[in-house]
Amino acid sequence: MSEGEFQAEIDYDKDYFKEKTGLSLREQYHRLHPQVLSCFEDDMVKVWGRKWKANTNVGKLRVVLLHRPGPEFLQVGNPTPWPPHEDSLIAWRMSEKMELDELVESHENLVDAYKAEGVEVVVRKPDPNDPPYQVKAIYADDVCHPAVYGQVILRMYDHIRRGEELPTYQTLAELGCPVVGMIMDKGMAEGGSIGWLDEKHLIIAVHFPRANTKEPEVMRANESGHMQFARIVKLQDPEVDVRICPGYGTSLGTSHYSLIDRHTSVQDPQTVDPYLRTWMEAEMNWEFINPPDEVSVKVHTGDPRIPLVKRAPNTGVVLEPRKILVPTGNPKATKWFESIGVEVVEVDVPTLVRPRNSGSIKCTCGGILRDPEPKSY
C-alpha cells in the first residue's frame, strides 16, 4: 500500500461518521454512548427472560429440573465404562437391574405431580455418551445448584457421575437460565451437601456423605470445590453468611433436607453438630421439630463414635411453606405431618428413591426458580 492509499484509508475512517452525522465516531461514543453501570441481577429479566433465583429451599417452587431415565439403565449388568470395568450391581451403585418402563413410570408420576401443583418441569437433555452410562443423572439436585442467582455447574467426585455437566449446561442454556460459574481444576462439589438455610445463610459440608479422607490431595480437591462455590456466592452477595462445615465422613445434620418452612426443620436437634445448631438458633431463631419415635427410624452412621442416629420422616421437596411432596409408603408420617399443619402431596416413585435406589425425592429435584421465601412465620 502506497502512502497516498494509506492516507486515503485513514481519512475515510476518520471522516465518514462525521460527514454523515456531524459527529465523529469518537464524539458519538463520548456524547451519547456512556458506559452503563448496572447490576447483573437487575438486568436478569431484560436479558435472561426471568429473575433466575432459587437461593431458598422453602420459597414457592416455580421451575424444577428433572432427568428422564433412558437407555443408560439398559447398560446395568455390562462392564462399566470406568475402572475397574466390573459388571456387578455394586459397580453400577444399583440394588437391582430395574425395568426401564418402571423407571419411566416413576418419572412420569413425578412430572405429573409437579405439574398438578403448577410447577414448570424442565427435563434435562439425555446422556450423550455411547454407550450411555449416567444412571445417577436422575438425581438432578447434585450436578448444578443455585448461587444467589443463576446456577453453578458442579463437579462430582466419582466416575459414575462425571460427564453430567455438559447436558446439564446445555439444558440450562436452552432454558435461558444463566450459568454463573463452574467448579474447576481438581475441585469437587455435590449439590446434596450445599444447603441454603435461607437467602442469607448457606452451609457447605465437605466430604458429606463420603469418608474418602485418607488422601490429602482428595481432601484438598473437595475443599477447593466447596470454596469455589462459596466465592461465587460472596461475589454476588457479600452479605451471605457462608459456613464451610468440616463434615469428614459423617452427616452433621442436613437441615436443608429436613425443611418444612422458613427456619423450621423436622429433625432431632441432637443429630445436628452442636456448633452448627448453636449458630442456627442464634442467627435465625431456628425451630427444630423433633418427631415422635413412632414416625422415625434409627440409622447406622458408619461412625463408631455415633453408631446410630434418629432419622426423621422424609420431608421431601418443599412446594411452598408448610406443603411438601413426598414418596408414597409412609402413611404414619403423612398423618403426623398433617397433625402439625403440614400439607402433604404423595407421589408413587419407588424406582427413583430409597430403599430400591440410592437417593431421596429431594435429590431428584433441581430447584431452578423459586419465589422469595416468606419473611414472617
DSSP character for 312? P
Residues 209 and 251: beta-carbon distance below 8 Å = yes
Query: From the CB of residue 120, how many other CB atoms can be counted at a distance below 10 Å?
Result: 13
- Helix/strand/coil percent split, the chain, to 5: 30, 20, 50
Mean pLDDT of all residues in 264-288: 92
Q: What is the reported pLDDT for 259?
A: 97
How far apart, in whole angstroms, are the C-alpha atoms of residue 285 and residue 287? 7
Which of 243-247, 261-265, 268-272 has the highest average model confidence (pLDDT)? 261-265
How far apart, in whole angstroms, are the C-alpha atoms of residue 153 and residue 229? 10
DSSP character for 269? G
Above 60 in pLDDT, residue 60? yes
Of 362, 370, 359, 371, the C-alpha closest to 110 is: 362
Q: What percent of the chain has pLDDT over 70?
A: 90
Mean pLDDT of all residues in 299-313: 74
DSSP character for 43? G
pLDDT band at 13; cut points 50, 70, 90: low
How far apart, in whole angstroms, are the C-alpha atoms of residue 11 and residue 16? 8
pLDDT in tens, 65-103: 999 999 999 999 999 999 999 999 999 999 999 999 999
List, in order, residues 6 or more apart from 233 with CB less than 8 Å away: 147, 148, 202, 240, 242
Mean pLDDT of all residues in 181-205: 93
Q: Classify 205 as helix, strand or coil.
A: strand
- Every domain of the chain and the residues it spans: 36-370
DSSP character for 78? B
Whether the CA torsion 98, 101, 105, 111 is positive or negative: it is positive
Q: What percent of the chain has pLDDT over 90?
A: 77
Mean pLDDT of all residues in 203-212: 71
Q: What is the reported pLDDT for 37?
A: 94
CA distances from 65 to 182, 256, 275, 372 (A): 18, 18, 33, 18
Above 70 in pLDDT, residue 301? no
CA distances from 313 to 9, 197, 228 (A): 77, 19, 33
pLDDT, mean over the chain = 91
Mean pLDDT of all residues in 276-289: 94
CATH homologous superfamily of 36-370: L-arginine/glycine Amidinotransferase; Chain A (3.75.10.10)
Mean pLDDT of all residues in 170-191: 96
Q: Cite the DSSP H helix spans in the chain.
A: 3-21, 25-32, 44-48, 100-116, 165-175, 216-236, 274-284, 331-339
Q: What is the reported pLDDT for 177?
A: 98
Above 70 in pLDDT, residue 187? yes
pLDDT in tens, 121-132: 999 999 999 999
How far apart, in whole angstroms, are the C-alpha atoms of residue 66 and residue 149? 19
Q: What is the reported pLDDT for 257?
A: 92
- Say if residue 17 is exposed, middle or buried (CB neighbours under 10 Å; 0-12, 13-18, 19+): middle
How far apart, in whole angstroms, are the C-alpha atoms of residue 297 and residue 48? 45
Above 50 in pLDDT, residue 377? no
Q: Classify 47 as helix, strand or coil.
A: helix
- What is the helix (H) or strand (E) element at residue 230, kind and residue range? helix 216-236
Above 50 in pLDDT, residue 330? yes
Q: Classify 81 as helix, strand or coil.
A: coil
